[in-house]
Amino acid sequence: MPDATTTVGVIGLGSMGLGMAQTLVTKKFRTVGFDLSADRRKLAEDAGVEPLLTIGEVITVSDFLVFSLPTAQDVSGVVESHLDLFQAKSGQRVIIIDTSTSEPDVSRDLANRLASLGHGFLDAPVSGGPAGAASGKLTMMIGGSEEDLALARPVIEAMAAKALHVGPSGAGNVAKLVNNLLAAAHMITTSEGLKLALAAGIDPEAALRVVNAASGKSMISDVHFPTWVMSDRFDSGFSMGLMRKDVRLAKKLADSTGAQLPLSEQVASLWAGSADLADSDDFTRMGAFKQKN
């Protein structure tokens, strides 16, 4: 059960981190947070999060740490630059729940480093977007030890409606990259299917209803297209830059493992080559079939 004496520190208060921090507050955890942006810290404070001025302060007072950071290098940098603080807390086991879309090798290395200091590290990337983060309805795919997962479960269950333990350290990262590679592919294939319907004189809205009632359905076609593509809103909260990064990491994983993925190679090429879309654009713009030639 949530315990107001248990402190959860959230490092990274972007659209996902802030939503998770807000959820933890509503679930009665003492929640502290840090972000480089003073504006994000103010938003967190308005939501009941105690904003702290340094990452070190967050680590010092926290029993659990939730990371929501852009890259594996950011995650590694936070841990590596604060190893002295983790060493000082070696008598008090701290569990890091890293919700960033990171890299398996980085997570495995950090888990080993922290285990040597008596702490735990779970790679726990999430799916569900900012709305899921703010409502506590994320899906979390988790890599790490059963022991660390058991200790962190109250915090995880506060943030996620579904928490799937995939395997040992790094497994959560692999599952997330597989998921996002498929989502990237579905965005393109659904767009092309609707483009074909339009070219053949069929109303794309009608074609999409058929897809979503038949075997061509995906979450992208069922949720993203009606909500953000067909409406021309393009504001899902997940950027082109982040999806490009995830597709690039999936390709890197395929290359390193020797997996032969010819279609995924083409998907990666299309996402990397969409020069008309900036990294700051919403990733759902990749599905804007009416604007494509």
Nearest one of 211, 246, 278 to 103, comparing CA atoms: 246
Angle of CA points 263, 105, 278, to nearest 5°: 50
Q: What is d(CA 245, CA 103) in angstroms, rounded to the nearest whole number?
A: 11
Q: Letter for the amino acid at 224?
A: H
Residues 6+ positions from 215 with CB-CB distance below 8 Å: none
Task: State the sign of the Cα–Cα–Cα–Cα dihedral 56, 60, 61, 63.
Answer: positive
Q: What is the 3-state secondary structure (H, E, C) of 194-220?
A: HHHHHHCCCCHHHHHHHHHCCCCCCHH
DSSP secondary structure string, 26-55? Answer: HTT-EEEEE-S-HHHHHHHHHTT-EE-S-H
Q: What is d(CA 66, CA 185) in angstroms, rounded to the nearest whole number?
A: 29
Q: What is d(CA 99, CA 66) in angstroms, rounded to the nearest whole number?
A: 7
Where in the sequence numbering do the catalytic residues fall?
A: 176
CB 76 within 8 Å of CB 121? no
